[in-house]
């Protein structure tokens, strides 16, 4: 970049635009009018980049004949960093050289530079495009267009209330098997697609049945059967209606956990290995024995959703934790395996379209949709179908089914004094993650009314709700207030992964919190920000960010945490029952509530020195645990039920916000692929 001091029409760097002649710094969401000093400091930094600008140069050219000390420059640099969401410790834009000066480290270019580069890129792109047109693109585009056309013309094949999911097609495309959650225990339904009156329900008393697949030559169904946490890989004979247990497995109500492959005469399924890690196993029907196929690197990463490619060469599966799941590929001949997708997204299910293409669901664009992946190019292309998951093809790959999910969750207010329950937030969408303001007059919540997660503000006195923040292709959830009631910290999730941002409720200006690690559910505590690490290598640690320095608390396996009034932490663990307390001063962990189910990590909250938590079974209801008195108290039999944090209690502890999923629907759609 050429050094220059003459004013430029516009500088471009990262997502920012800077007009030095107008003193304007903006991105897509925020516009700042800079003071003359800030404007000159930023212009000097950018125009001299990549050279270091000495402190003396700043004082001479910005403040000139004015008598100021170097503190004025330091304050200007700090203010610019704040506007840019930058930090001294992890400099993205402005780097400090102690006692020397500052350097602008991002790549900045003028409008004219950009246009010149674009022309060159266009020329190079045209050459590449020509190659793609003649060599690669026709097949890619053909597959993508066929699937997009298919999704646009899909027709519903199930209409019952409740949840129908984990659908799978028979090889001939005439039958479909899926899981139904209408009853106390899940059942498997086998239905004829041409005559829906021809269907049968498969149930086993006291068991949750899941992940069905057809073994057509044996006229049977392979599935998982779970009871009391124990899971059995099971074969069901459609003629004799007999169940036969084959091997131990791991149950998952969300993801498919098995895949039958006829040419290999094997079923691939999820089960625990000798180290208690969830891995993919192969049960060979000819040998009547199982063997380990994949080996996750740690217990925090689990392998689910196995699928064998049509040519029997590849095993695809998802690997991750409760936060992040990526697609992986294993060569069954060489044993080599590698990730197909990377980043902080979550994939539930997938299926092979042909030997080169996978269709999978992911929230990498903020909301769950179907994506197409060429395993050689490793480039994901959006197919569409909002809320879709569990795609399945017949053997000829002419028919496809998938599940489409929709929820209606509403927020209710329970008054502990009057013992009354009233709905305060009601829409046909998913409203959740309520959080009382410190004064209790307002609360924030998340909603997908914008077709993607956004943050809303509700005034308890006026009853008015308003949109606080929405961002393109970014899912916003889990808001938390700071102690002043002026700012809200929010979890963001987009193609770049998970992160946290803070918004001023009055001005609606926001900035990203500069954690180095992917993170979620951040909390402000004075001048410190705490957040939960959230990544494919997640150890469930609580991160601490102060003055640009990021550290981690000495606890692992945390699924969710909150801060008590004295600054201690309470949290749940991802694989261990109980609610725990961490004493910051003594650096010790204490088990507070032993009987809390770790799978319900979203169904508790903390306020003052109290923990409110959901309990099922004989003593079902919402309970309060007084930490100081070490006592339990039943608050109400009204209970939360949602995906995401579902409780908030005001500081007076006389009002409770409870999220309830009042309607949960998932139906199965069928589509005929065009030639």
Instruction: Please spell the DSSP secondary structure of 183-199, one letter per residue.
Output: SSS-EEEEEESS-TTSE
| Average pLDDT for the chain | 88
71 pLDDT more than 90: no
Integer Cα distance of 376 and 338 in angstroms:
12
> Based on the domain organization, do 360 and 269 belong to the same domain?
yes
Q: Single out the residue of 346, 347, 376, 342 nearest to residue 359, CA to CA.
A: 347
DSSP state at residue 104: E
Predicted pLDDT at 120: 55
Instruction: Indicate whether 635 and 540 sit together in one domain.
Output: yes
471 and 584 part of one domain: yes
> pLDDT tens digits, residue range 602-614?
999 999 999 999 9
615 inside domain: yes
Q: What mean pLDDT is predicted for residues 551-563?
A: 92
Main-chain phi, psi angles of 323, to 5 degrees: -105, -45
- Average pLDDT for 155-164: 82
Give dist(CA 67, CA 78) in Å, integer: 20
- The strand pairing partners of 243, in sequence order, are 236
Closest CA to 356 of 369, 372, 336: 372
For residue 607, being part of any structural domain is answered with yes
Confidence of residue 131 (pLDDT cuts 50, 70, 90): very low
Which residues on adjacent β-strands are paired with residue 328?
317, 339
Instruction: Compute the distance between CA of residue 665 and CA of residue 163 in angstroms, rounded to an integer.
Output: 5
pLDDT digits (tens, 9 = 90+) for 342-360: 877 889 999 999 999 999 9
Sequence-ordered alpha helix ranges (H) in 137-255: 137-152
Look-up of token digits 């890619």: 140
What's the rounded Cα separation, in Å, for the pair 606 and 134? 61
Select from 397, 415, 448 the last residue of a domain.
Answer: 397
Residue at 228 is within a domain: yes
Which residue is listed with tokens 């998938």? Answer: 402
> Are both 376 and 438 inside the same structural domain?
no
pLDDT of residue 375: 92
Would residue 356 count as lying in a domain? yes
Q: In terms of domains, do 362 and 304 share one?
A: yes
Predicted pLDDT of residue 181: 79
User: Residue 199: what pLDDT?
Assistant: 85
Question: In the predicted model, what is the mean pLDDT of residues 163-173?
Answer: 89
The CATH number of residue 73's host domain is 1.10.10.10
| pLDDT per position as a tens digit, 261-274 | 988 899 999 999 99
CATH of the domain at 557: 2.120.10.30
pLDDT at residue 115 in the model: 58
Retrieve residue 123's tokens: 């020329």
Same domain, 485 and 582: yes
Residues 159, 83 share a domain? no
Contact 437, 481 (CB under 8 A): yes
For 500, phi then psi, to 5°, come to: -130, 145
Residues 343 and 422 in one domain: no
Half-sphere exposure of 157 (CA within 13 A, CB side): 33
CA–CA dist 61, 419 (Å, integer): 68
Q: Tell whether 352 and 446 lie within a shared domain.
A: no
The CA-CA-CA angle for residues 159, 162, 168, to 5°, reads 70
Domain assignment of residue 503, given as a range = 407-665
Residues 18-46, mean pLDDT to the nearest whole number: 87
pLDDT of 137 over the 60 cut: no
CB 329 within 8 A of CB 366: no
Exposure of 675 by Cβ count < 10 A (0-12 exposed, 13-18 middle, 19+ buried)? exposed
Would residue 130 count as lying in a domain? no
Identify the burial level of 635 via C-beta atoms within 10 angstroms of its C-beta, where 0-12 means exposed, 13-18 middle and 19 or more buried: middle
Is 127 part of any domain?
no
Residues 632 and 524 in one domain: yes
Helix axis angle, 36-48 relative to 70-84, nearest 10°?
Answer: 80
Considering the domain architecture, whether residues 233 and 304 belong to the same structural domain is answered as: yes
Residue 425 has pLDDT above 90, yes or no: yes
More reliable by pLDDT, 539 or 294: 294
Single out the residue in 82, 106, 130 at which a domain terminates.
Answer: 106
Number of domains present in the structure of the chain: 3
- Per-residue pLDDT, averaged over 328-346, amounts to 90
Q: With 50 as the cut, is the pLDDT of residue 114 above it?
A: yes
Residue 403 has pLDDT above 80, yes or no: yes
Judge whether residue 315 has pLDDT over 80.
Answer: yes
Q: Which one, of 514, 518, 477, lies nearest residue 324 by Cα? A: 518
Tens of pLDDT, residue by residue over 452-507, are 889 999 999 999 999 999 998 889 999 999 999 999 999 998 877 889 999 999 99
pLDDT at 47 exceeding the cut of 70: yes
Cα 411 to Cα 432, 641, 649, distances in angstroms: 7, 10, 13
Evaluate whether residue 144 is within a structural domain.
Answer: no
Cα–Cα separations (whole angstroms), residue 140 to 144, 154, 308, 347 = 6, 21, 21, 22
Pairing of strands 108-110, 164-169: unpaired
Question: Is 381 in contact with 371 (CB distance < 8 Å)?
Answer: yes
**Token pair for residue 6?**
């003459």
CA atoms within 13 A on the CB side of 76: 25
Instruction: Kindly report the pTM of this predicted structure.
Output: 0.64
The residue-averaged pLDDT of 636-642 equals 93
Within-domain flag for 114? no
Q: Which residue among 336, 365, 397 closes a domain?
A: 397
Distance, CA of 458 to CA of 481 (rounded, Å): 13
Cβ atoms of 212 and 166 closer than 8 Å: yes
**Higher-confidence position of 526 and 87:** 526
> How far is 37 from 57, CA to CA, in rounded Å?
14
Partners of 290 in the beta sheet?
Answer: 283
- Residue 343 near residue 356 (C-beta atoms within 8 A): no
3-state helix, strand, coil in the chain (%, to 5): 15, 50, 40
Higher-confidence position of 657 and 472 = 657
Q: Tell me if the bond preceding 208 is cis, omega within 30° of 0.
A: no
> Which of 242 and 163 is assigned the larger pLDDT?
242
Radius of gyration (Cα) for the chain, nearest Å? 28
Residue 436 is inside which H or E element, if any?
strand 431-436
Residue 334 and residue 250 share a domain: yes
Instruction: Please give the residue that has the higher pLDDT: either 561 or 184.
Output: 561
CB 150 within 8 A of CB 370: no
Sign of the four-CA dihedral 160, 166, 167, 170: negative
């Amino acid at each position: 970049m050429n050094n220059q001091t003459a004013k430029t029409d516009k500088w471009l760097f990262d997502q920012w635009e800077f007009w030095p002649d107008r003193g304007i710094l903006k991105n897509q969401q925020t516009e700042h009018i800079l003071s003359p000093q800030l404007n000159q400091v930023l212009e000097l930094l950018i125009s001299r980049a990549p050279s270091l600008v000495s402190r003396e140069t700043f004082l001479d050219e910005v403040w000139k004949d004015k008598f100021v000390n170097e503190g004025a420059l330091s304050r200007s640099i700090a203010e610019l960093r704040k506007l840019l969401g930058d930090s001294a410790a992890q400099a993205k834009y402005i780097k400090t050289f102690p006692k020397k000066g500052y350097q602008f480290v991002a790549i900045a270019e003028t409008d004219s530079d950009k246009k010149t580069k674009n022309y060159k890129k266009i020329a190079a792109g045209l050459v590449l495009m020509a190659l793609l047109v003649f060599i690669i693109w026709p097949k890619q585009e053909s597959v993508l267009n066929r699937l997009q056309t298919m999704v646009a013309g899909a027709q519903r094949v199930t209409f019952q209330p409740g949840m129908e999911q984990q659908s799978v097609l028979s090889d001939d495309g005439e039958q479909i098997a899926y899981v139904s959650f209408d009853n106390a225990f899940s059942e498997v339904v086998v239905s004829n697609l041409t005559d829906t009156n021809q269907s049968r329900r498969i149930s086993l008393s006291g068991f949750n049945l899941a992940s069905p697949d057809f073994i057509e030559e044996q006229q049977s169904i392979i599935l998982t059967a779970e009871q009391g946490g124990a899971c059995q890989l099971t074969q069901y004979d459609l003629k004799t209606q007999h169940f036969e247990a084959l091997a131990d497995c791991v149950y998952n109500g969300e993801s498919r956990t098995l895949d039958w492959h006829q040419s290999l005469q094997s079923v691939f399924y999820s089960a625990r290995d000798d180290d208690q890690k969830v891995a993919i196993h192969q049960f060979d029907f000819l040998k009547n024995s199982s063997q380990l196929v994949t080996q996750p690197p740690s217990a925090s990463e689990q392998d689910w959703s196995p699928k064998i490619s049509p040519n029997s060469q590849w095993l695809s599966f998802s690997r991750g934790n409760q936060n992040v799941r990526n697609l992986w590929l294993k060569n069954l001949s060489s044993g080599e395996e590698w990730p197909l997708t990377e980043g902080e997204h979550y994939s539930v299910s997938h299926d092979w379209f042909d030997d080169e293409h996978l269709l999978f669901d992911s929230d990498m664009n903020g909301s769950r949709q179907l994506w197409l992946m060429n395993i050689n190019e490793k480039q994901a292309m959006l197919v569409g179908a909002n809320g879709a998951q569990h795609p399945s093809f017949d053997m000829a790959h002419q028919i496809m089914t998938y599940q489409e999910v929709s929820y209606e969750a509403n927020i209710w207010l329970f008054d502990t004094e009057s013992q009354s329950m009233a709905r305060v937030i009601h829409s046909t969408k998913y409203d959740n993650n309520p959080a009382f303001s410190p004064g209790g007059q307002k609360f924030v919540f998340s909603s997908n009314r914008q077709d993607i997660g956004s943050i809303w503000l509700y005034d308890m006195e006026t009853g008015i709700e308003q949109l606080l923040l929405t961002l393109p292709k970014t899912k916003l959830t889990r808001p938390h207030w700071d102690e002043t009631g002026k700012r809200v910290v929010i979890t963001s999730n987009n193609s770049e992964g998970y992160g946290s941002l803070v918004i001023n409720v009055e001005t609606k200006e926001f900035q990203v919190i500069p954690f180095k690690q992917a993170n979620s559910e951040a909390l402000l505590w004075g001048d410190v920000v705490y957040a939960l690490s959230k990544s494919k290598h997640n150890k469930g640690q609580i991160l601490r960010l102060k003055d640009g320095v990021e550290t981690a608390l000495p606890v692992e396996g945390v699924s969710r945490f909150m801060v008590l009034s004295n600054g201690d932490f309470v949290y749940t663990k991802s694989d261990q029952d109980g609610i725990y307390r961490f004493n910051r001063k003594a650096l010790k962990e204490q088990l507070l509530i032993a009987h809390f189910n770790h799978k319900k990590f979203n169904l508790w909250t903390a306020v003052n020195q109290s923990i409110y938590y959901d309990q099922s079974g004989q003593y079902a209801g919402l309970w309060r645990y007084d930490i100081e008195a070490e006592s339990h108290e039943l608050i109400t039999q009204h209970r939360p039920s949602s995906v995401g944090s579902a409780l908030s209690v005001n500081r007076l502890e006389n009002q409770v916000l409870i999220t309830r999923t009042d309607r949960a629907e998932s139906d199965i759609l069928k589509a005929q692929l065009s030639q």
